[in-house]
Structure 1
Amino acid sequence: MISKTAVSIAVGVAGLFVGYCFYFDQKRRSDPEFRQKLRERRKAKKSAQNVSSKIPNLKDHELVQKFFIQEVEMGEQLLSFGDIEGGTEHLANAVAVCGQPHQLLQVLQNSLPPQVFHLLLQRLSANGQKLNNYSLMTEEDVE
């Protein structure tokens, strides 16, 4: 059997832990930067949903370059806000239209955590199929 002192110690430790959680939650919520960061995170997520990542005509170099820069910036921004899936989606779009994808992948491998880079590679294979389908559709439109 468990003694009364052990139970009372366990209840006391649990109470201290809950009090600790309440204290830091209150401190986090009352921080003025918390609300600002929360607004920025929500605004970035909303703008990411509004901005469509349609692949431009690959023969127009200027459009591809603008799209590449936009996707890299959006991917970095979403990753900094903690939206890993959205960030990797945009970075995969950027790698898909990049002129030198191997060099970009090396840079991303050095700068991203391994689990995020692995997710990026998975997204890249799916985006590669989408890009192939898109290029086939544009070729059919030309004919």
Structure 2
Amino acid sequence: MMSGRTSALIAGVCGALFLAYCVYFDRKRRSDPRFKEKLRERRRKKNVSTKKSGLAKLPDLKDAEAVQKFFLDEIQQGEEYLSQGEFEKGVDHLTNALAVCGQPRQLLQVLEQTLPSPVFQMLLTKLPSVSQRIISSQSLTEDDVE
């Protein structure tokens, strides 16, 4: 059997080798001539996707589970943005949720009671554009099937 000293020495050597491995590949990655370009592109894509929060990718409306998950996610994100004071983004998410909601009138009544009046008015003004987007996405998926 190995003594405690030998096993500690082996663990230390393995740790040092792992650290050297990490440093080597980090240096190799950073010395890549396209590293900064790739990093900027990745950040740009991430920023574009977060800026288009109001234009979230709609689920397949025939898949009830996907629609329900989308609905709950959009409600949650809308509430988070509203609590942070970002009313525009919050309203975008709530209109997405309202557009796929099975009972939009009941949800509108709840939102009317819970949201401040200016925020609710903002929601009402954005609702037709999101509904139009849903209608156009449905027609696109029907065209893809044929």
Is the shorter-chain TM-score for this pair beyond 0.5, marking a shared fold? yes
Letter in 1 for 2:119: V
* Residue 129 of structure 1 pairs with residue 132 of structure 2: yes
In the TM superposition, what is the alpha-carbon distance from 1:58 to its structure 2 partner? 0.1
Q: Distance in 2 between matches of 1:139 and 1:103?
A: 29
- Cα deviation 1:12-40 (Å, max 9, x = unaligned): xxxxxxxxxxxxxxxxxxxxxxxxxxxxx
Residue 118 of structure 1 and its aligned partner are, at CA, apart by 0.5
Q: Which residue of 2 aligns with 1:74?
A: 77
Q: TM-score, normalised by structure 2?
A: 0.63
Q: How does 1:22-61 map to 2 (within 5 A)?
A: 49=50, 53-61=56-64
Partner residue, 2:9: none
* Deviation of the 1:88 alpha carbon: 0.1
Match of 1:90 among 80, 88, 93: 93
- The alignment of Structure 1 onto Structure 2 pairs a total of residues equal to 97
* Structure 1 runs not aligned, ≥5 long: 1-45
Equivalent residue in structure 2 for 1:112, among 100, 115, 129: 115
Q: What RMSD, in angstroms, separates the aligned Cα atoms of the two structures? A: 1.6
Amino acid at match of 1:108: L
Q: Sequence identity, in percent?
A: 49
Q: Which has the larger Rg?
A: 2
Alpha-carbon distance in structure 2 between the residues aligned to 1:60 and 1:107: 25
Normalising by structure 1, report the TM-score.
0.65
Runs of 4+ in 1 over 4 A off after TM superposition: none
1:64 to 2:63 alignment: no
Runs of 5+ consecutive residues of structure 2 not aligned to the other structure:
1-46
CA distance in 1, matches of 2:80, 2:69: 16
